[in-house]
Structure 1
Amino acid sequence: MNPACSRCNKIVYPTEKVNCLDKVWHKACFSCEVCKMTLNMKNYKGFEKRPYCNAHYPKSTFTSVADTPENLRLKQQSKMQSQVLYKEEFEKNKGKGFSVVADTPELQRIKKTQDQISNIKYHEDFEKSRMGGEAPSPSPQPHSTPAFNQQPAAPQNFNYDPTPEPPRQAAAAPPPSAGKRYRAVYDYVAADEDEVSFQDGDMILDVQQIDEGWMYGRVERTGQQGMLPANYVETI
């Protein structure tokens, strides 16, 4: 018994029969499902057991999703969830090792704040160390002309005290010590009322040692007496 055509459901005789796609067709009925162009075994393409020409063969394509308000809301929600998960992972892994962290606006703000705090802390520590430090007493210089005509600095006190210092009273003259004579090796100009000025080569008499940096004596040339820096004179 002859089978029926898959297109027209009429009987197909052997002289006009086409076996394709597990079906039987008339030669004239074996055509494209879209444009009805007659096909043969060389130019057809099957899709779901239906013949198509090359131009109308169904192709799988990606469909674009419209940016509807609902899709935009879901997109924003997914982005927020990703940021929350990122921050949670960052807090968990903080201190466990070095990792590359994206420069988000929030992290940039935190980094800038930390840099400002570090700078303020550095300046506070620097001011404390500068004001709280104490300069060492200069050692006596030999009787020679200093390089570049520089004179040694007189001893100074760098201890900082916010309370205003009352005017320093003139130091009482200690008892003279006979036999102690010094000669000035540099010029010195008194910086306070209880100090004495002298020039290079002046004789300093009745010298009394006060501490490692200061002495008390009388300038033979002027007759003035008072405190003088110990590293500006030498023993005769």
Structure 2
Amino acid sequence: MNPPCARCKKIVYPTEKVNCLDKLWHKACFQCEVCKMTLNMKNYKGYDKKPYCNAHYPKSSFTAVADTPENLRLKKQSKLQSQVQYKEDFEKNKGKGFSAVANTPELERIKKNQELVSNIKYHEEFEKSKGTSAAACERRHSNDIPQYNVQPEKHRGELPSTHDRKLKTGYQQHQEPQSQDYTPPAAPCAPPPSTGKRFRAVYDYAAADDDEISFLDGDLIVDVQQIDEGWMYGTVERTGDTGMLPANYVEAV
């Protein structure tokens, strides 16, 4: 007699069974206990004889003794598997056309990307204008230094010579336009405060494409904006890198 499925308790036939964790499952029933994502023999993680995906695998605190070479090898292998899965999905969806009417998640991600690029362009122009304002302030400050008209000492009752009168008249004509053109220096503008959300990384992640960012467990990611259910856009505060990141590798602060 065929045994029942460990999840739905229905009969499992040989053509659709998955034998794992000392139990039998339907292929469609072999899912993560938290997010219900369908798993296979390559990407599942077992805990207490229950299947989990990589993102929702129960965390355990490891001591220095528990970090054996075997555990480090398994951690590296799971990280490589997640990158391979992302590459496969990317190659599968690359080159697909979009309808001008359909509002797909991919189209929403492209729109968000364009908004972020325009925001970055605005900040670059703001930094340039701030540098120009600082240079103008410095020039005005140098022009603000008082100038003193030094005249040779004359005896009482002695009239100034023709050469002294010409020198004094030319010096005053040279100094008068500076006092008329002087304007008080403008106060430097402070940069606008950050309004994005802040997230903290709960796993290490290595960028698999040019528009992604790498980070370590515990890194703080600022100015985060949601692109779709699986991806976000933000900046790693430790490195200053800006790009896309997977949503299931971070948690809100």
Q: TM-score normalized by structure 2?
A: 0.31
More helix by share: 2
Give 1 or 2 for the bigger CA radius of gyration.
1
